[in-house]
Amino acid sequence: MKSNKINDGIVGNIIIPSDKSISHRSIIIPSISVGISEVKNLLMSDDVIHTLNAFKAMGVKIEKKDKKIIIYGKGLNSLTKPNKNIYLGNSGTSARLLTGLLASQKFETILEGDNSLSSRPMARIMNPLKLMGAEFENVSETLPLKIIGKKLTKSTIEIEIPSAQIKSGLILAALNTEGVSHIIEKNITRDHTENMLKSFGADIKIDKNNNQTSIYIKGKKELKSNNIDVPSDLSSSAFFIIAALINKGSKINLNNININPSRNGILKALKKMGAKINIGNQRTISGEIVADLKVEYSELIGCELDSDMAKFMIDEYPILSIAAAFAKGKSIFRGLKELRFKESNRLELIRLNLVNCGCDCEIINDDLIIKPSEEYIPKNNKIRTDFDHRIAMSFAVMGSKVGNLIIEDSDSINTSFPNFIEKFNSAGGNIL
């Protein structure tokens, strides 16, 4: 796709797709509950559809009815062996959460993915699961991964890596394990799994002490069905927020946005940069805090973010880097190691593509330093994405300011935001 410069800003009321992280969990948790759950506003992106199809393959009845997804839950230990390997496309969330869930089931499963997912490390979830007795067959510790389901044992596990996917995988394993499992999270991460499990009647207790969280899960307690209303995704909102902030004349409204405190770092960072963002009408829906946002063009200033911010906004650093490229003054974003292990090496792709566009950008250890240029004249107009949806959408936003950027492998956007181009153009964008 080609992203061209716009002149009149981004304007209007924009409906943002539902939260991808919560959508995955809105399939998984009802499927292992007892009874019928209704899910409203499920994100029907490629990633989420792979999760949905995985549970259908394991015997869960799931049907669509009047814009709702109806899930007929089977209980904690009632999934059945699929007839073939489970294919997960590019969905790292599906891969890591299902690895945890399937480790305690009573059958063997093989998880597969596309080339990108098959290159991503799985040891980070496999190794802590092994402490509970989980068994795998895989030498390379990447997909394809054979999971040999078996009875696990309760354990105390410390998570060093700040990853909600790892934490959630362990929690899902613990649900089907006798006794009380204790998960210690050294760095706070998004808590969608815990919030949803509480509403489904799980015996889960959470103690927070400074920057460390202890999670206690009493296993073998059946979950009870519940209805879910999935809020709109803050990560997806960020592309429109920053497009509005950097383009003169912009003024947009975004309603029903998930602003969960464990992942709202992008809003805090942009406020620090001088962004005009009004957060109003806060309320709680299905255990999540949501709000309506009003955003208008702002003269941004560079900022420094320490490594603690990364756990609250790791997925938003690609698009935040675009904001930094048009701010006044240098920005330094510290502690971005996790960006190297996403759908791509996002840290390197941010640097490579910003430099290509004429920005002074470098990586020192795991820190990203961005020094904006007064005028951007790309060395060439091709943006390398390595099939990463967030890199593609971030540089589409940059194209709205720079003009004439060719975004390679843009089909990856379907991973999280299938109608991104349509919505961006309807708000004043110029993507071909």
Mean pLDDT confidence for 84-107: 97
Residue 210 binned pLDDT confidence (cut-offs 50, 70, 90):
confident
What is d(CA 313, CA 308) in angstroms, rounded to the nearest whole number? 10
**Do 209 and 264 share a domain, yes or no?**
no
Backbone phi and psi for residue 383, each to the nearest 5 degrees, phi listed first: -105, 120
**Model confidence band, residue 10 (pLDDT cutoffs 50, 70, 90):** very high
Residue 182 belongs to domain with CATH number: 3.65.10.10
Compute the average pLDDT of residues 158-186: 95
Shared domain check, 216 and 356: no
Listed residues 210, 229, 248: the one ending a domain: 229
Q: What's the pLDDT score for residue 311?
A: 85
Contact indicator for 417, 45 with CB cutoff of 8 Å: yes
374-412 pLDDT tens trace = 999 999 999 999 999 999 999 999 999 999 999 999 999
Are the CB atoms for 373 and 322 separated by under 8 Å? no
Is residue 211 assigned to a domain? yes
Statement to judge: residues 142 and 247 lie in one domain: no
CA distances from 348 to 197, 355, 367, 370, 386 (A): 36, 11, 11, 13, 11
| Residue 287: CB atoms within 10 Å | 19
Do 213 and 250 lie in a common domain?
Answer: no
* Residue from 193, 222, 192 nearest 33 by CA: 222
- Same domain? For 412 and 402 the reply is yes
Q: How far apart are CA 88 and CA 216, in angstroms?
A: 29
pTM over cut 0.85: yes
Give the integer Cα–Cα distance in Å for 130 and 7: 55
* Claim to verify: residue 129 and residue 275 sit in the same structural domain: no
Going by pLDDT thresholds of 50, 70 and 90, the confidence category of residue 281 is very high
Confidence of residue 286 (pLDDT cuts 50, 70, 90): confident
Residue 67 banded pLDDT, cuts 50, 70, 90: confident
Residue 431, in any domain of the structure: no
Residue 432 lies in a domain: no
Give a three-class secondary structure readout of 39-103.
EECCCCCHHHHHHHHHHHHCCCEEEEECCEEEEEEECCCCCCCCCCCEECCCCHHHHHHHHHHHC
- The domain total for the chain is 2
Mode of pairing for the β-strands spanning 68-74 and 61-65: antiparallel
- My answer on whether 266 and 385 are in the same domain is yes
pLDDT in tens, 232-264: 999 999 999 999 999 999 999 999 999 999 899
Could you tell me the residue range of the domain that residue 138 belongs to?
A: 20-229
In terms of domains, do 272 and 156 share one? no
- What is the residue-wise DSSP string for 341-362? GSSS-HHHHHHHHHHHTT-EEE
> Which among 136, 109, 108, 112 has a CA at the least distance from the CA of 123?
136
Domain termination residue (choose one: 207, 229, 251): 229
Confidence (pLDDT) at 187: 84
pLDDT at 199: 95
- Boundary-marking domain end, from 196, 229, 262: 229
162 falls within a domain: yes
Do β-strands 331-333 and 304-305 pair in parallel, antiparallel, or remain unpaired?
Answer: parallel
Three-state DSSP at 149 gives coil
The helix, strand and coil proportions of the chain, stated in percent and rounded to the nearest 5, come to: 35, 30, 40
Q: What is the tally of helices (H) and strands (E) in the chain?
A: 12, 24
pLDDT of residue 188: 83
User: Among 28-32, 85-89, 117-121, whose mean pLDDT is lowest?
Assistant: 117-121
What pLDDT is stored for residue 138 in this prediction? 85
Residues 71 and 161 in one domain: yes
Q: Catalytic site residues?
A: 315
Q: Are residues 120 and 135 in the same domain?
A: yes
91 assigned to some structural domain:
yes
Please tell me whether residues 151 and 273 are part of one structural domain: no
- Same domain for 286 and 148, yes or no, is no
